[in-house]
Structure formats: C-alpha cells, structure tokens
C-alpha cells in the first residue's frame, strides 16, 4: 500500500512538472514575469529593444489588483498591458530615449535605486519617478 501511495504522489508531482509555468494557477496577489499574456504590440516593442540594444530582463508583467502608486487607480499591469524591464547594462538612457521617441504607448523611467523601465500600451504618456516615493 505504501508503495502505491508513493507512486501516486510521484506521478502527481511529475504530471505537475509537465505543465508549463504560464499555465499553472498562481495566487492572485503574486506578480508575474511571463510575457505570454502581454499584448503583441508590447512583445514587438520588447523584441525591437532586444534587437537594437541587447538582452533585457523582464521584472514584472501581470500583477493582479495592481494600483498606480499614490493614485489608487487601476494599473495597466493589472490587465497584463504593461511590462517593467531592466535594459542591458550601461544602456538605460539610450533605451529610454529610443522608447520615448518610438513607442506609441506609455513609457516610464525610474531613479533613486530603481533601474527598470516601464512600457505599456495605454495612452502616450511619459513619466519619471524616484523609486523611494
């Protein structure tokens, strides 16, 4: 009986590991870095940044329930319509300038110890915030 139970547990763990990470149910308050939910226009923009400047590290995409800091308004991250990413080392200003000139949606930059860039497919807004508030 113990052997059957152990095989059952092992098979369940193996089956769970075969499910792609994007398809697994996540707790509703955990941020995601998966880009599968990101709209095609933002995926194209990220790919263009990669092609022009080098690899990027996605920091955040879908954040269920996300609010815009200090406003209480719903963030585009809540609908997976925004991406925060870290550009290649030494290319932050170049990437930010290129996005501000070429991206049709929102572009946000950060300072005060934060080194990521925000893009979304909302209105053409440009912002800069200090990471500490």
**Residue 114 maps to a domain:** yes
CB atoms within 10 A of CB 29: 9
Residue span of the structural domain in which 58 resides: 28-130
For residue range 22-34, list pLDDT tens digits in order.
433 344 455 678 8
**CATH number, residue 62:** 3.30.1380.10
Q: What pLDDT does 83 receive?
A: 97
**Residue 17 maps to a domain:** no
pTM recorded for the entire structure: 0.74
- How many structural domains comprise the chain? 1
**Measured distance CA(113)–CA(108) in Å, rounded:** 15
Confidence of residue 58 (pLDDT cuts 50, 70, 90): very high
């Amino acid at each position: 009986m113990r052997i059957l139970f152990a095989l059952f547990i092992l098979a369940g763990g193996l089956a769970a590991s075969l499910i792609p990470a994007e398809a697994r149910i996540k707790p509703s308050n955990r941020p995601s870095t998966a880009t599968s939910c990101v709209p095609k226009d933002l995926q194209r923009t990220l790919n263009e940044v990669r092609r022009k400047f080098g690899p990027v590290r996605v920091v955040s995409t879908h954040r269920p329930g996300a609010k815009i800091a200090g406003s209480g308004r719903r963030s585009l991250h809540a609908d997976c319509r925004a991406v925060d990413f870290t550009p290649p080392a030494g290319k932050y200003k170049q990437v930010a300038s290129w996005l501000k000139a070429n991206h049709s949606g929102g572009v946000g930059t950060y300072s005060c110890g934060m080194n990521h860039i925000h893009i979304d497919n909302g209105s053409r807004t440009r912002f800069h915030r200090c990471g500490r508030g």
